[in-house]
Structure 1
Amino acid sequence: MSFIAAERIKLTSTRSPWWCAAVGVAATIGVASVSMITGDETGFTGVASTQLGYGLGMAVVMVMATLAVTTEYSVGMIRTTFLAGPKRTGALLAKTFVVAIGAGLIGLLAAFGSWALGLILMPDADLALHGSAEWRQVGGVGLVYLVSAVFAVAVGILVRHTAGAVSLVLTWALMLEQLLALIPGFKSLAEWLPFEAAKQFLLAGQTSEGTQPWVAMAYFAAVGGALLAAAIAVAKRRDA
């Protein structure tokens, strides 16, 4: 618990996480509002149409999560952290837990903010949360942001340098998987890409037939957990 308390203080006592949280919420709601106002032919209807900005907000949250790790490496504070927890696993897991919970809360705020704005901008649309599918499409954004933060923390631990880690997570989340899915030979593998799985979790029933949303979420979380485990193993073997 002491590790968690320390990481909470680290995260909330600097300005960058607060700015990232504000920008993440604003970006998510902003992109969704533009889509709802212009009435773009996105192929999404109902509640799903209010969550089209989740990707941009997710990218901002991943930057926040990456900075939570790489900043400590850049200023040398990570040595103090590892002195407090010589085995390193507890300290890194605590950091991941605090950052991921923060990211999840940002996702929930952004998602329900987008949905509430949709009630105003699209009064004639059926945006009621009738059942589990609609609740998943809105509340699931928080879960996706949470797991995305785990990915970002893992990349930060592995790369350690801010510019490289941020570039990698943004390229991966926003570009790489979409580009791979366009290559004919990789189309059949697209469903195994982690962020594509996250998309299927949120938009199952809108993007394809027969998608099992919670299976997709479990796969997304499993890949994130495996990457974090690998990152911690590497961190334990090398100098701070």
Structure 2
Amino acid sequence: MASVPAVLTSEWTKIRTVSSTVWTLISAFFVTIAMSAALCALMNAQFGDLPEMERATFDPTLISFSGMTLGQLAMVVFGVLVVGTEYSSGMIRTSLAAVPRRGAFLFSKVAVAGALALVVGLATSFVSFFLGQALLGDHRTDIGAEHVLRAVIGGGLYMGLIGIFSMGVATMLRSSMLSLGILMPFFFLVSQILSVVPGAKKVARYFPDQAGSKIMQVVPDAMGSDPAPYGPWGGFAILLAWVVAALIGGYLVLRKRDA
């Protein structure tokens, strides 16, 4: 029976030797930074044209994370591929034969891939913030301002947890195509659309992306957004609950079903 260090080493080798997982992390980093920088530059140029309410509640920290709407999709792909590749390639049988304790197998995979996603998420968040502030000109804020550091670190944790959540979902569904077919429309379309539909928005604000993104806000109800019944840490706790539920679901499916 393989030891935990050996399993962790094996999972690290799988991730770094599969080009698709590496490139999705690189994409998450550069897409987020590029999109955030472009929107910060545009905001600086058109700040005077904003409605009075949006100028009054302008959040320079949050706007520097605007590229995460796309960057998180790359994190979704990363999380799905880390798990889904095992099933599509048939390697899951070999992996479970080498590591028959399915809990040890799953959570070693999550530990390695999750740590990598969190590191990339934090790097992305800090670079996006500092570059974005440089492009905001007179409208910028400082990392030492109240609650800003919390928001920057929270942005990195948000991206990492979205990746881990996707791993849990992919483990439950046991298919990369099915997982991506559900998660990509959910984050990119369903969640965004329902968040602006009267009545439905009360449910949508408890979705993982809507709740988790509150950790990146410094100004309450930033940019004229609707108030939420929870604060930054409350939203982060909701995201964490989604992640835990996905991982528990993935573990139960992996334990009860054949490879």
Report the alpha carbon displacement of residue 131 of structure 1 after superposing the two structures with TM.
4.1
Find the partner of 1:12 among 16, 21, 32: 16
- Superposition TM-score, scaled by structure 2 size: 0.85
Within the candidate set 196, 200, 203, 1:186 is matched to 200
Structure with higher Rg: it is 2
Deviation digits for residues 92-139 of structure 1 (CA, Å, limit 9, x no counterpart): 011111111111111112111112212432232332112452112212
1:106-117 superposed matches below 5 A:
106-117=120-131
CA distance in structure 1 between the aligned counterparts of 2:205 and 2:175, rounded to whole angstroms: 30
Which residue, out of 176, 179, 183, partners 1:165? 179
Corresponding residue number in structure 1 for 2:39: 35
Say whether the 8 Å CA contact 1:51–1:137 is kept in structure 2: no
Please, which of 199, 205, 216 is the counterpart of residue 235 of structure 2? Answer: 216
> In the aligned structure 2, how far is the partner of 1:202 from the partner of 1:119?
15
CA shift digits 1:53-94 (9 cap, x unpaired):
112111101101100111111111111111122131111011
How far apart, in 2, do the equivalents of 1:151 and 1:157 lie? 10
Once residues 244 and 146 of structure 2 are traced to their aligned partners in structure 1, the CA distance between those partners, rounded to angstroms, is 26
Q: Aligned residue for 2:68?
A: 54
Alpha-carbon contact 1:46-1:127 (below 8 Å) kept: yes
1:80 aligns with 2:94: yes
Residues of 2 paired with 1:209 and 1:61: CA distance? 25
AA aligned to 1:238 is R
Give the residue type in structure 1 aligned to 2:34: G
Unaligned runs of 5+ in 1: none
State the AA in 1 paired with 2:250: A
* More displaced 10-residue stretch of structure 1: 25-34 or 177-186: 177-186
Structure-2 separation of matches of 1:118 and 1:65: 27
Counting aligned pairs with the same residue, the percent is 26
Query: Counterparts of 2:72 and 2:244 in 1: how far apart (Å)?
Result: 18
Structure 2 CA distance for partners of 1:122 and 1:131, relative to 1, 3 Å: closer
Distance between the aligned counterparts of 1:149 and 1:51, measured in 2? Answer: 17
Letter in 1 for 2:258: D
Q: CA RMSD in A?
A: 1.9
Gaps of 5+ in 2: none
- TM-score normalised to structure 1 length: 0.92
Q: Give 1:189 deviation, angstroms.
A: 2.0
Moved more, 183-192 or 165-174: 183-192
Which is further off, 77-86 or 207-216?
207-216
- 1:161-197 Cα offsets, whole Å, 9 max, x none, are 2222112121122222222233333232233222111
1:228 to 224, 247, 259: 247
